[in-house]
Structures are given as structure tokens and as C-alpha cells.
């Protein structure tokens, strides 16, 4: 998989894309992540990529020209399965969408910034608009990092124990059940006996019950 990220603040993505599981995926050759600075595609001598919005609204808007130049360059080099724009008014991101994106070959993620992006870029290039929650960030870089991390970790071969990713929260529409490790007793609290008994069928039933109860208590909306 190749992921191209378009941003005005590439420095914000340096650490999230250079550590942990994402780093291992890159080293294994399972994913290629290329960060592009939109400022490199402006003809403005001050490298300005934003301007005041028509209509007099407060804030600044990403100009269409530098984004279009960068988009055209990338699209001339290869075919992309999705061109994603991170925006608070996009579709709510979830595990199902992460699973879908992980099966694609090439994607572009354009990070929103300032007051937003000139609508004509959204009309001409964007195939998917994604929000990671009902709140506003300073820019879309953190949202892009969230999307990349959630997608890369479930690409086959990235995690050593692939079964671990398949039992994460939301994979089956439920929150994950509680997990325990040694010691069997800690500050007066014991690991449930069923987990110590070694019976896979009983453990599976217990995990399912716990997942359903936890979801009903903390995220009843998922059960709908």
C-alpha cells in the first residue's frame, strides 16, 4: 500500500509515522508513506497557501492552486483508489471504514487546515471526506495520523499476531472484553477463574458475555 499525505505542516506527522507499528510496516515494505508539503507547490514568494474567504467570513481558506498542482502531479504518476479529505463535516470514521481502506492499494489523504479548503478542490478531486469526531482540530494532520495508524496496523503481516487485531474493539461491533495478565492476584483482586481454567469454549462464552455487557454499559449506541 502507498499513502500520500498532503499537508501544510509536515513536521506534525514526523513522529507518528516514524515509530511503533507504522515504522515496522514501512521497514517490512508493506506500506510506503510519503508526506508532501503543499507550500512547495505555491508560486507565492512568501510560500503563502491561504487567503481570505469570499463573503467576508472570519478565518483563512486553503487556496486551490497549490493543492491542484500537487494533486495533478500525483494523479499523473499512479492510480489512487481513494482521495480522502480530513474534515469535521466528513463521514464519521470507524473500524469498518479502516478495514475497507486497508484493502486498497494507493490512497491520498489531504489534511484540512485553517477555515477549510476551497470547495472547488473538494468538488474536483476528493472521493471521500472523513471526520474522526464531532470536534474541530487546528488542522487535519492529527486526523490523518489516526487514519494511517488504524489502517496500517491491520494490513496482513504488519502485526506479528494477526489474530490480535481481529479481536480488537469494534471488529465485531462490540467493545473488547476485559483482559488480564500475571499475577493472578493483585491487591486483593483475582483474575476470573474461567480464564485460568484453560477451557477455550468457556473462555469464549465469558468473553462474549463481557463484551456485550461492557458495550451495553458504555456504548449502547453500538448495539442498535
Question: Which pLDDT value is given to residue 172?
Answer: 80
Which stretches of the chain drop beneath a pLDDT of 70?
A: 161-168
Cell of 60: 483563512
Q: Are 99 and 47 in a shared domain?
A: yes
Instruction: Tell whether 80 is covered by a domain.
Output: yes
Question: Is the CB of residue 130 less than 8 Å from the CB of residue 86?
Answer: yes
Question: Is the CB of residue 1 less than 8 Å from the CB of residue 138?
Answer: no
Question: Whole-model pTM?
Answer: 0.89
Phi, psi of 181, rounded to the nearest 5 degrees: -140, 180
Question: Which pLDDT value is given to residue 166?
Answer: 60
Residue-wise pLDDT tens digits, 107-143: 999 999 888 999 999 999 999 999 999 999 999 999 9
Q: Are 33 and 144 in a shared domain?
A: yes
Q: What is the CATH number of the domain that holds 127?
A: 3.40.1280.10
Q: Which of 73, 69, 60, 100 is nearest to 84 (CA)?
A: 100
- Between CA 5 and CA 111 the distance in angstroms is 7
Give CA separation, 12 vs 47, 78, 80, 111, in Å.
18, 26, 24, 11
Q: Which of 60, 51, 108 is nearest to 84 (CA)?
A: 108
Q: Are 19 and 124 in a shared domain?
A: yes
Domain that holds residue 185: 167-223
- Between CA 121 and CA 62 the distance in angstroms is 10
Q: Are 6 and 33 in a shared domain?
A: yes
Question: Is the CB of residue 145 less than 8 Å from the CB of residue 16?
Answer: yes
Q: What is the CATH number of the domain that holds 197?
A: 1.10.1270.20
Q: Are 31 and 137 in a shared domain?
A: yes
Question: Which pLDDT value is given to residue 171?
Answer: 76
Instruction: Tell whether 137 is covered by a domain.
Output: yes
Classified as helix, coil or strand, 4 is: strand
Q: Are 216 and 140 in a shared domain?
A: no
Q: Are 205 and 135 in a shared domain?
A: no
- Displacement of CA 17 from its chain's centroid (Å): 12
Question: Is the CB of residue 36 less than 8 Å from the CB of residue 70?
Answer: yes
Question: Which pLDDT value is given to residue 167?
Answer: 61
Number of domains in the chain: 2
Instruction: Tell whether 159 is covered by a domain.
Output: no
Number of H-type helices and E-type strands within the chain: 8, 10
- Between CA 42 and CA 64 the distance in angstroms is 10
Amino acid at each position: 500500500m502507498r499513502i500520500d499525505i498532503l499537508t501544510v505542516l509536515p513536521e506534525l506527522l514526523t513522529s507518528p509515522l516514524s515509530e511503533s507499528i507504522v515504522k515496522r510496516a514501512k521497514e517490512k515494505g508493506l506500506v510506503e508513506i510519503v508526506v508532501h508539503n503543499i507550500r512547495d507547490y505555491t508560486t507565492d514568494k512568501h510560500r503563502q497557501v491561504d487567503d481570505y474567504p469570499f463573503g467576508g467570513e472570519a478565518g483563512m481558506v486553503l487556496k486551490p492552486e497549490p493543492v491542484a498542482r500537487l494533486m495533478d502531479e500525483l494523479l499523473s504518476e499512479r492510480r489512487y483508489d481513494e482521495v480522502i479529505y480530513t474534515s469535521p463535516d466528513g463521514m464519521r470514521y470507524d473500524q469498518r471504514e479502516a478495514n475497507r481502506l486497508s484493502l486498497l492499494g494507493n490512497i491520498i489523504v489531504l489534511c484540512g487546515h485553517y477555515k477549510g479548503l476551497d470547495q472547488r478542490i473538494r468538488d474536483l478531486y476528493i472521493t471521500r471526506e472523513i471526520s474522526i469526531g464531532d470536534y474541530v482540530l487546528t488542522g487535519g494532520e492529527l486526523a490523518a495520523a489516526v487514519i494511517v495508524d488504524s489502517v496500517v496496523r491491520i494490513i496482513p503481516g504488519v502485526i506479528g499476531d494477526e489474530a490480535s487485531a481481529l479481536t480488537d474493539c469494534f471488529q465485531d461491533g462490540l467493545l473488547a472484553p476485559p483482559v488480564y495478565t500475571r499475577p493472578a492476584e493483585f491487591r486483593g483482586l483475582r483474575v476470573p477463574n474461567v480464564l485460568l481454567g484453560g477451557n477455550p469454549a468457556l473462555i469464549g462464552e465469558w468473553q462474549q458475555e463481557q463484551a456485550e455487557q461492557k458495550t451495553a454499559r458504555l456504548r449502547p449506541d453500538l448495539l442498535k
